[in-house]
Amino acid sequence: SCRIFIRPSTFKLPAALETPVVMIGPGTGVAPMRALLQEREFRFKETHSLVSAQQPTNILYFGCQRQDCDYIYREELESYQKEGTLTKLSLAFSRAQTSKVYVQHLLGEEKNAVELVRMLDVGAHIYVCGATAMGNDVLQCVSNILTQHKFGGDVDRGSEEVKALQKAGRYIQELWST
């Protein structure tokens, strides 16, 4: 026997295309991120007839163990990046080097952390999909980023900001246990 349940997705894109979107979906967690990118691309093309119009900001953090066998949807993601639908694609291949690198490590890098705070300050939405442990690590990473880069080390304010983002529907997680 197998227990199955179906529930509606909590991933709802912001109404305004100008709102930046940060997606974190390692492994099969990238599947709903593809749908978000498809929707953003469609809405942009539908509303902007000028080729020179500014694409919305869409950033994806994707990770897997090995690039050569686990980098699913590679051609599609790289095509989105080439055509501008995907502003930035950050890749973590955890078994490609001696020390493991995960999506939360990339997110926590100085340049990415500063970029995240800047984007959150202008209303960015964050979407996280994947294993519960990864989701918890990403949540802690975002809290640490806010603590360090926005609130001068005030841990309580960093944590409160993450809770406020969740309450406002700007930090959304769809996680499962492995």
pLDDT band, residue 50 (cuts 50/70/90): low
End-to-end, the C-alpha distance of the chain in Å comes to 18
**Residue 99, amino acid:** S
- For position 68, what pLDDT does the model report? 79
Q: What is the pLDDT of residues 92-134, one digit of tens each?
A: 998 877 789 999 999 999 999 999 999 999 999 999 999 999 9
* 141 in Cβ contact with 171 (< 8 Å): no
Q: Are 74 and 45 in contact (CB under 8 A)?
A: no
Rounded to whole angstroms, the Cα distance separating 111 from 12 reads 27
Q: What is the pLDDT of residue 17?
A: 92
Q: Are 141 and 104 in contact (CB under 8 A)?
A: yes
Q: Hey, is 93 helix, strand or coil?
A: strand
pLDDT digits (tens, 9 = 90+) for 148-158: 999 999 999 99
Q: What are phi and psi of 89, to 5 degrees?
A: -120, 115
The amino acid present at 3, given as its one-letter code, is R
Q: pLDDT of 20-30, one tens digit each?
A: 999 999 999 99
Q: How far apart are CA 61 and CA 102, in angstroms?
A: 9
Which residue in this structure is represented by tokens 């304010």? Answer: 157
- pLDDT (0 to 100) of residue 2: 87
Q: What is the pLDDT of residue 7?
A: 81
Better-scored residue on pLDDT, 46 or 108: 108
* C-alpha 6 chain-centroid distance: 23
